[in-house]
Amino acid sequence: MVNIAKTETKISIDHLYVRYEDDGTESLRDIHFDIPIHAITALFGPAGGGKSTLLRTLNRLNDMVDVSTRGSVLLDGVDIFSSNIDVVTLRRRVGIVFAQPIPLPFSISRNIRYGLELAGENRRSRLDDAVERSLRAAALWDEVKDRLGDPAIALSGGQQQRLCIARVLALEPEVLMLDEPTSGLDPISTAKVEASLQLLKQDYTVIIAPSSIQQTARIADWAAFMLQGELVEWNRGEDLFSAPRNKKTEDYITGRFG
């Protein structure tokens, strides 16, 4: 029987257009789809399709460059572009992890405490709890629990990336966005990061620009195929990969272009 249980929407994107004003590039055109809560949504497609632009729009990181944006993005039903939205709070609620894990030049535990301390938290027990909770959530705790005081820079690449995920989780986001988080990692580290995402989606809404088509097929509960600024197709990951509805999607996932 077809499962028709209604999925709850965390972010609803409607008629979204984004243009970089410095060179006039219209990077997103009429994007519209919903991001379900407690699932992994993957944005995939060839270079320049607008995946990073969309991620940076969802927590308004793109405010820092000269962009013009039209359309709406609703987070729990509230438009993130409305004038009374506090962007600092928005960016805590919708956290982002980038391709290159760049730990701060501190110990493992201080990497995680740091953001909270900046936000004014100075209670030792709260900070210690956050370190353990975040490292567990990022599936790193067992590997580092006996050496929390060691320099973070001594961790492997895959451990550093999970540390960077843990650092964002310490701030208790609702949505976790990751932009090609495994692009520099070996297959074993990549598998560990992917495994941590499977845990994380139970508590968070995960949006990822995967590092490859294969990774998209492995992890996407929902997949959005983006091509030259447009949304070509959006569907449940397994359906999109087993029965693409659009010829362009089919060509891309079967390796005929891109």
Ligand X SMILES: Nc1ncnc2c1ncn2[C@@H]1O[C@H](COP(=O)(O)OP(=O)(O)OP(=O)(O)O)[C@@H](O)[C@H]1O
> Taking CB under 6 A as the rule, which mask of x and - marks residues 46-65 in contact with ligand X?
-xxxxxxx-----------x
As given in the structure block, the two tokens for residue 41 are: 């949504």
The partner in contact with residue 146, picked from ligand X, Mg ion, none with C-beta cut-offs of 5 to 8 angstroms by kind, is: none
CA gap 227, 252 in Å, rounded: 10
Half-sphere exposure of residue 161, counting CA atoms within 13 Å on the CB side? Answer: 24
27 touches Mg ion by CB under 5 A = no
The partner in contact with residue 9, picked from Mg ion, ligand X, none with C-beta cut-offs of 5 to 8 angstroms by kind, is: none
The pairs formed by 229-234 with CB atoms below 8 angstroms and a separation of 24 or more are 229/26, 229/27, 229/28, 229/29, 229/49, 229/50, 230/29, 230/30, 230/31, 230/50, 231/30, 231/31, 231/32, 231/33, 232/45, 234/33
78 membership: H or E segment, kind and range? strand 78-79
Q: Which is nearer to ligand X, 52 or 205 (CB)?
A: 52
Residue count, binding to Mg ion (CB under 5 A): 2
- Output the smallest distance, CB 220 to ligand X, in A: 16
Q: Which residues pair with 236 in a beta bridge?
A: 222
The partner in contact with residue 23, picked from ligand X, Mg ion, none with C-beta cut-offs of 5 to 8 angstroms by kind, is: ligand X
247 membership: H or E segment, kind and range? helix 247-253
What φ, ψ does residue 78 adopt, rounded to 5°? -110, 130
Binder of ligand X out of 7, 12, 14, 20 (CB under 6 A): 20
184 touches ligand X by CB under 6 A = no
Residues 105/106/109/115 CA torsion (nearest 10 deg): -70
- Output the smallest distance, CB 42 to Mg ion, in A: 13
Q: Which is nearer to ligand X, 200 or 231 (CB)?
A: 231
Q: Which is nearer to Mg ion, 17 or 98 (CB)?
A: 98
181 touches ligand X by CB under 6 A = no
Give the range of 49-57, 82-90, 135-143, 188-196 binding Mg ion by CB under 5 A: 49-57
Binder of Mg ion out of 27, 41, 52, 249 (CB under 5 A): 52
Contact 164, 140 (CB under 8 A): no
Residues that bind Mg ion (CB under 5 A): 51-52
Residues that bind ligand X (CB under 6 A): 20, 22-23, 25, 27, 47-53, 65
